[in-house]
Structure 1
Amino acid sequence: MPATKVLFVCLGNICRSPMAEYILRKLVAEKGLSEQIEIASAGTSGWHNGEDMHQGTKQILSAHHINSDGFQSSEVRPEDIAIYDHIIAMDDKNLHDLARIFGDSRPDKVYKITDLLPESEYDYVPDPYFSGNFSETYTIIHAGCIAWLNHWQRQHIQKL
């Protein structure tokens, strides 16, 4: 079975989407599923292409014992719609931008991370670049990554 490919998306690919990428990588590795799930992130703007993640993101990941080495910001490409099985945005603006990049059709594989948290008070992930609250962002994204992984495992077990 080919690996499931996940792409997390935010505006600049320096705060929220790399945070999600590295959180899910750690969760997947802890479950021994790294060969079955590939994870990446990108931004809709391309403003920070080639840069490292925001220092606040690095600090919150480090505080949770998540290694963030080797990151380099990149931009969403039109061909990503065919490459990735799940394209997970952080907010409605990201979804709007993805529709522009991919065309007006919004396949089921493009959705917000908070869609995985129906009981949550959040319907988007606040951008810590503007809010400064990297802890709040981490909490929401971590919960979303756990929900995604649990859903993936249930689906995967059913296919066996």
Structure 2
Amino acid sequence: MSAPDAPATDVAATAVPRPTRIEMVCTGNICRSPMAEIILRALIERSGVSGFGGASGFGGASEFGGVEGAAGIVVTSSGTGGWHVGDGADPRTVAVLGRHGYDGSAHVASQFDASNFADLDLVLAADRGHVRELRRLARRPEDAAKVRLLREFDPAAVTAGTLEVDDPWYGGTADFERCLAEVEAACHGLIDQLSDASGRALAR
């Protein structure tokens, strides 16, 4: 007598939730995008916010590919250019982060590649030039739709119409301080939206 067949597995019910993945992008990945990565990661840890899951927030799962019950948030960063690949963050970036309680010492610069889109839910650019370049690299409309300006998440910046993060590269300490303030405000706004989206997902 043969053994009874094993019950069929419900793949949908047993699928392992994946984290929400967000990538910050600037030019060389040594100033603006490392700030954004490090600040957002720290704010996520402090707030305890989880991933936004499926159709909640940001235009729905078709836009960002979220999975129901997403397990946490992974934040990375890269640059559109490859000049600084393998380098640490600009020392002025590390310094301004340190003055505000963030640690940028472990950052290693990388370059954005079109293959990154497959694993990402949201790609946040520092300025419109980065948006154009990222959307040029996108092979599918749904990938291009993942690209947004980081400061779109700062209500004050939206009201003022100042949606680009100022590049501090050619400036001094005051420019890096202003850059960090812009990035931090946008990251707080993003945390608020992630919290709202996560709450709606849990309520369903």
Give the shorter-chain TM-score range: over 0.9
The superposition leaves residues 26-79 of structure 1 with CA deviations (integer Å, 9 ceiling, x where unpaired) of 101112348611100000011100000001110110001111232100000111
1:24 alignment partner AA:
L
Which deviates further from its counterpart, 110-119 or 20-29? 110-119
Please, which moves more after superposition, 25-34 or 73-82? 25-34
* Long gaps (5+) in structure 2: 1-16, 51-70
User: Structure 1 residue aligned with 2:188, among 141, 146, 149?
Assistant: 146
The one of 124, 135, 149 equivalent to 2:164 is 124
1:21 maps to amino acid: E
Q: Percent identity?
A: 30
Take 1:33 and 1:152, find their aligned partners in 2: how far apart are those partners?
A: 7
User: Post-superposition, which runs of at least 4 consecutive aligned residues in structure 1 deviate over 6 A?
Assistant: none
Alpha carbons 2:24, 2:33 under 8 Å: kept: yes
- Equivalent-residue separation in structure 1 for 2:190 and 2:26 (angstroms): 17
Aligned to 2:81: 45
TM-score, scaled relative to structure 1:
0.93
Deviates more, 1:71-80 or 1:98-107: 98-107
Task: Tell me which moved more, 108-117 or 50-59.
Answer: 108-117
The CA deviation at 1:86 is: 0.7
Tell me, in whole angstroms, the C-alpha distance in 2 between the residues paired with 1:51 and 1:146.
28
The residue that corresponds to 2:102 in the other structure is 66
TM-score calculated relative to the size of structure 2:
0.74
C-alpha root-mean-square deviation of aligned residues, in Å?
A: 1.7
Give the equivalent residue in structure 2 for 1:111: 148
Residue 17 (1) aligns with residue 33 (2):
yes
Aligned residue pair count:
160
